[in-house]
Structure 1
Amino acid sequence: MMRQYELVERVQAYNPHTDEALLNKAYVYAMQKHGTQKRASGDPYFAHPLEVAAILTDLKLDDASIAVALLHDTIEDTDATRAEIDQLFGAEIGSIVDGLTKIDRLQLVTREEAQAENLRKLLLAISADVRVLLVKLADRLHNMRTLDFMREDKRKRIATETMDIYAPLAGRMGMQGMRQELEDLAFKHLQPEHYKAITSRLDEMKAEFADTISTIKSELGDKLKDEGIVARVSARVKSPWSIFTKIERKQIALEQLSDMIGFRVIVPTIPDCYRALGIVHTNWKVVPGRFKDYISVPKHNDYRSIHTTIVGVGRQRAELQIRTEEMHRVAELGIAAHALYKEGATDIHKIENESKAFAWLRQTIEHLTVGNTTEDFLEYTKLELFQDQVFCFTPRGRLIALPRGATPIDFAYALHTDIGDTCVGAKINGQIVPLVTQLRSGDEVEIIRDQNHLPPSNWETIAATGKARAAIRRAVRQQSQQRAFSMGEHMLSMLLEREGVLLDDGEIKQLAEALGHSGRRDLLIALGDGKISGEDLDTQVMEVKGIKRRRKRIDLPVPDKAEGWFALRSTELFRFRVPGNPRSGPNAKAALKQLDFNTKVEVSPEGVVPGDRLIGIMEPNKPIIIYPIHSDALSDLYDRDVAWIDVRWDIVGREDRDYQCVISMHAQNKPGSLAQIAAVIAACEANIHNLVMRMESPDFHRFIFQIEVRDLAQLTDVLNSLKLAAGVSDVQRATVAEALGLDRIDWTAPKNQEEPA
């Protein structure tokens, strides 16, 4: 353990005017307060704050920072108080120690008001003095260095937190040396086998390429010296974590990595950087596409350097970083490297003038005035540290990292594909929200599931992650195939029943192959998808059974599009396609003979909205009735002699209009029930057009609403939100019988609009 005079000597090495009395007093006070406390390793607890202070001396921080490092756990872990710290060491040091205590107590997944107040105090402490962050990062670094003595479960938790929060935070502050060590230490505990394999390979490389490294260093130094540039050349091997991420990103083996060796060229001035670059590119072959100029365009954390990759001795690739001494100091130490800071100027705005790395804090502090409640405060301030990712939590505290713009749908699929497929709603920080809501760092997300639910196709446009989009496409494809299979099975069954024939397994296989499909399932899916016409199916069935007969052709309107869909004058919303020989009973044939461009079209009472799959039913001397595929009325029509017609939406240019549909639900008979339901519908931006209320028991009413929505996605949002409302149950699209309780309306065209010519 470092002795008192040794600590003072370390500070005096870079600050001859150090306040020796302050450091001695902090040393003695902290040692007395921690007394006989022990760490998990068995070492005296005081060894920890002493090592934190040593880390800060490497950053060459001021006396107050070193004193805070010695004292940072006294309020948290001993009987010391803030008032006592203020009295003995001054309000400045007391404020920093108090701010660090709030960090230690911070639980990112809680929603308690007291915890929100802790977060408020933490940010205010950082806004007043950035040393709060520097001491905390040094504290975490020493904890990671001694993590071997903790229980395995605790090691994993602390390592995960370090990898997800503290290492990126150090990088955001420009402290690349600290970030690299934190990442490597966390990597060692999270994936020990990978860590061991990579470090072993690095040790081999150091021995294997020792001569190559020495040769490149000397050649670089000599070439630069010959051109009059005084340069300091050093070699380095990439860190285990950076190598692992590169292997994962490029999907290659460790042995395939060819640029694990790097060199730093430190020169006096910026013009010397570009002169050195010219010399390097003149004397060595350059790897195309590997040049980056961060001097001209610095990174967001103030990092400046020139990067290039050359092919050196033995065709060994080597990365070069060319920078000045000042750039190197900022690259390694980040905000701790700023001269203003060492002079004791802790005003946040002065520091921000010199460092871009702290620009995010100004925005976070501005959010303090946005809301008066702690909930509003948390909404704007939780973990506003990262620009490219959001970090959210499950109710049990599991951390999920997602890209910016991610929604609860992405969160659900990140947990598990089955959770994503059965997701019907979400709560963010305890509040029910639409699934299109973008997540923010620090949100606690709870996924609401329904095992009978499957994702709609429009989710693919909402999801931000490739995993979610791929899973949605797969689920939608499976749903579509299952619907097509059921429809094809029904169509084949009705045809066989009408013709009075049966097919055995061998004949089914023969039929499938004749129509270009491998088996029964593929055949029925193609039939249900409309890829096989009824006429072709009928013809092939007859050939398989050895029956020959002539059929009368039914003349239909000429399609106005190559794919065979045609429009009727009486509607502007739909297009139609008639199978070559749909159910061919007498009524069906008669109906199809009457079909022309002026055939009237109506919509079933329950209504249809864009996104619904549609079926048209036609009888002689009657309009085409359009049903959604889920309509219970269709099951009653299976055995009737009617013509079934394929229908699709044709709403190009009319995407912004609203469509009416009917929903029903049970609700408790109590004051405010109707108002609650209306509020939920309004929150989903849908409009109530009509309403019927029926008392089914003294305790429950049945509500039947006719609402106006844009499409199926909005309707799904309404249904899911109603399912989550208190006192509401059995929420669903209404049946035809329920819908008939409402007034019929004209669905075929908007009011006061002439029919298209």
Structure 2
Amino acid sequence: WQRDMSDNREFMHILKSDLDLFSDDVYCFTPTGDVKSLPKGSTTIDFAYSIHSAVGNKMIGARVNGRLVTIDYVVKNGDRIEILTSQNSKGPSRDWLNIVKSTQARNKINQWFKNELKEDNILKGKEMLASYCKTKAVNMADLMKTEYMEAVMKKYGFRDWDSVLAAIGHGGLKEGQIINKMADLYGKDRKQEMTDDDVLREVSEQTKTKIQGRPGSGIVVRGIHDVAVRFSKCCSPLPGDEIVGFVTRGRGISIHRTDCVNIIHMNEFDRVRLIDAEWETKEELAGKEKYLAEISIFADNRNGLLADVSKVLTEKNVDILTVNSRTSKQGNATISLSFEVMNKDELKKVMDRLRTVESVIDITRSIG
């Protein structure tokens, strides 16, 4: 009786009315009349890969119900779809991974990149690991040991290291996953190798007299002489904040707030480089210098909002260094500001005054 229906859409409409089968799937047709079931929201790319990997990999376009459509066209119930292919096609685009809806299509696209671009992905994976280590100030040579590589291969089910690198290169694995795993192993080995003399040396350093960092920084660190101190831009610490130091490679000590997300989520390998730090006393800090503060203001958008915010800062004798404002489609405004203040108490007074501005909902500090 299906063949008596001259219009596929009419058939699908009747079937949908009689049987509520279409909440999670859409049903469409090949040019020969075969029915294909796809997840709701699927595109013509999903349809192509549901036919065969070779069809999807060589796809260059599609016709739906006899007319040309873009490849991100969302399939509807009853559509008759013809996939256009070419032997000159260079294969799928990485952008397709953001377009497809079905797991089947996504897996087949990923498989193509694994097989066709393995050499390129291996090189890219190496570069991504090296870049990640450089960003995190990790000595990559310490981690590239056979036993650590084998542990990673076993954990993620790879037979050789090149396959791990290729997986990183095409996006199947995150470089941070690999380095953090290897760093944890390195950290455990390092603890086991520590001698009694190493332990005594560390205790001795922890009990040394506090020595100030760079002149004018207002920071006191423990156990290190003539240290260069800089304030991290991720959380912008101020006098009055609880702080901690992080020993970088070649750039001295970076000072963070203890609630900075980079400190909270730091892996065990990096935590051994944290060091006690604190502010000088209020008397020692008095009149020394100002420090960078960064805040975000959330408000209902209105005319004059930015002007009112600027007026408050002028009243408080605060000079704005940077300002960025954006508004959502729902009319919610976010204003990001940076300026300099003497300490946390001064910042609190500024924030309290800003909260009284009309339509302001909330104000937060940057925490990384």
Highest relative contact order (Cα 8 Å, sep 6+), 1 or 2? 2
For normalisation by structure 1, the TM-score amounts to 0.21
For normalisation by structure 2, the TM-score amounts to 0.40
Structure having the larger proportion of residues in helix: 1
Larger Rg: 1
Structure having the larger proportion of residues in strand: 2
